């Protein structure tokens, strides 16, 4: 069997792929967090619960209505995004003039409530969501077997991240968004309906989390804790990448996923903590994060 640094290549590439997949979720979730934080100045602790809701809505669509994966990929982000819009309009919008702490308390509390509701209804053991037939099976790459669905997740997540980045950096809407992140009152004084833009931005960030949730449904079991487990790492990713940096959160997400995967190969004991160790080092050396503006 082939070996690299004394490690069998299938193991190495297997973990690398796993790292890439985790990285894809880190990237999509931290991207949404970064967009929301940039414009709303709110750290959205509900993000993990919204990721979980994305997976659950996909499961419900299939289970109750017989609507499959491909439609869920579109409908679940729309529906969960809509709950985000309602949340912003009814609750979060009251917090903009208050201390950051209130935003944290509200969104953290909401995530506990949401998880509680789903645990109450569906238990915590988790439910399976089948890989759609078009994406089942595996490719033999010669040095390893690559499950088609996992390749799809990485490619689709990359596509979602790049699309989001292009919208923010290259379109007129994105220019409004960047400008409003710097000076929202002035952008509003130019005639842009900034309150509406803030609501839709929150909805879009939430939809991105839900989209990640749909992608995750066939990989992890659909369970109420799936967001909590992931979101702790995602917050570390955001801190490392730099709060509010779009490209930074994408690159850091994928990069740290890979680092985590490689750690599992070379020093498994540290794989659960390596991201937090990196976070400590980054905070000491560059408190604004790798891509953040001080």
Partner 1 sequence: MADVMTAPAGAKASTGALMEIRGLEAWYGESHVLHGVDIDIREGEVVTLLGRNGAGKTSTLRSIMGLVPRRTGSVKYDGKEFVNARPDVIARAGIAYCPEERGIFASLDVTENLMLPPTVRPGGMPLDEIYTLFPNLKERARSQGTKLSGGEQQMLAIARILRTGARLLLLDEPSEGLAPVIVQQIGRTIRELKKRGFTVLLVEQNFRFAQTVADRHYVMEHGRVVDMVANEDLNASLDRLHQYLGV
Q: In the complex with partner 1, which residue's Cβ is closer, 1 or 294?
A: 294
Which pairs count as long-range contacts for 133-138, CB under 8 Å and 24+ apart, including other chains?
135/69
In the complex, least distance from residue 187 CB atom to partner 1, rounded to whole angstroms: 7
- From 98, 112, 186, 281, residue interacting with partner 1 (rule: CB under 8 A): 186
Stretch that binds partner 1, among 105-113, 159-167, 193-201, 276-284 (CB under 8 A): 193-201
In the complex, least distance from residue 242 CB atom to partner 1, rounded to whole angstroms: 14
Residue 41 found at the interface with partner 1 (CB under 8 A): no
In the complex, least distance from residue 96 CB atom to partner 1, rounded to whole angstroms: 13
Q: What is the Cα–Cα distance from 67 to 129, expressed in whole angstroms?
A: 12
Q: What is the Cα–Cα distance from 95 to 242, expressed in whole angstroms?
A: 23
Residue 286 found at the interface with partner 1 (CB under 8 A): no
Look at residues 157, 133, 161, 147 and name the one whose alpha carbon lies nearest to residue 215. Answer: 157
Residue 162: CA count within 13 A, CB half-sphere: 6
Residue 189 found at the interface with partner 1 (CB under 8 A): yes
- From 70, 139, 159, 190, residue interacting with partner 1 (rule: CB under 8 A): 190
How many helices and strands, by DSSP H and E, does the chain display?
10, 4
- Phi-psi domain of 5 (left: phi exceeds 0; alpha: psi -120 through 50; beta: other): left
Stretch that binds partner 1, among 57-65, 181-189, 221-229, 250-258 (CB under 8 A): 181-189
Tokens of 82: 């809509």
Q: What is the Cα–Cα distance from 150 to 45, expressed in whole angstroms?
A: 27
Q: In the complex with partner 1, which residue's Cβ is closer, 63 or 196?
A: 196
Binding site for partner 1 (CB under 8 A): 172, 175-176, 178-179, 181-183, 185-195
């Amino acid at each position: 069997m082939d070996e690299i640094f004394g490690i069998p290549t299938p193991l190495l590439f297997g973990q690398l792929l796993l790292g890439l997949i985790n990285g894809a979720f880190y990237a999509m979730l931290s991207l949404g967090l970064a967009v929301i934080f940039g414009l709303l100045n709110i750290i959205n602790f509900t993000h993990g619960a919204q990721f979980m809701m994305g997976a659950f809505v996909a499961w419900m669509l299939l289970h109750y209505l017989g609507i499959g994966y491909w439609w869920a990929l579109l409908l679940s982000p729309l529906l969960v995004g809509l709950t985000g819009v309602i949340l912003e309009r009814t609750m979060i919008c009251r917090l903009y003039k208050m201390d950051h702490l209130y935003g944290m308390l509200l969104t953290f509390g909401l995530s506990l409530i949401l998880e509680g509701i789903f645990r109450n209804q569906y238990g915590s053991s988790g439910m399976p969501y089948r890989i759609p037939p078009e994406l089942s099976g595996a490719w033999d790459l010669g040095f390893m077997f690559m499950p088609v669905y996992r390749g799809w997740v990485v490619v689709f997540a990359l596509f979602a991240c790049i699309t989001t980045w292009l919208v923010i950096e290259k379109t007129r809407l994105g220019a409004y968004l960047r400008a409003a992140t710097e000076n929202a009152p002035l952008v509003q004084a130019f005639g842009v309906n900034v309150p509406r833009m803030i609501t839709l931005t929150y909805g879009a960030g939430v939809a991105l989390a839900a989209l990640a949730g749909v992608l995750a449904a066939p990989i992890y079991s659909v369970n109420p804790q799936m967001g909590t487990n992931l979101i702790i790492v995602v917050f570390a990713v955001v801190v490392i990448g730099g709060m509010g940096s779009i490209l930074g959160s994408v690159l850091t997400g994928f990069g740290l996923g890979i680092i985590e995967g490689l750690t599992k190969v070379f020093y498994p004991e540290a794989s659960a903590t390596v991201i937090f160790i990196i976070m400590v080092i980054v905070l000491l050396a560059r408190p604004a994060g790798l891509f953040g503006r001080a």
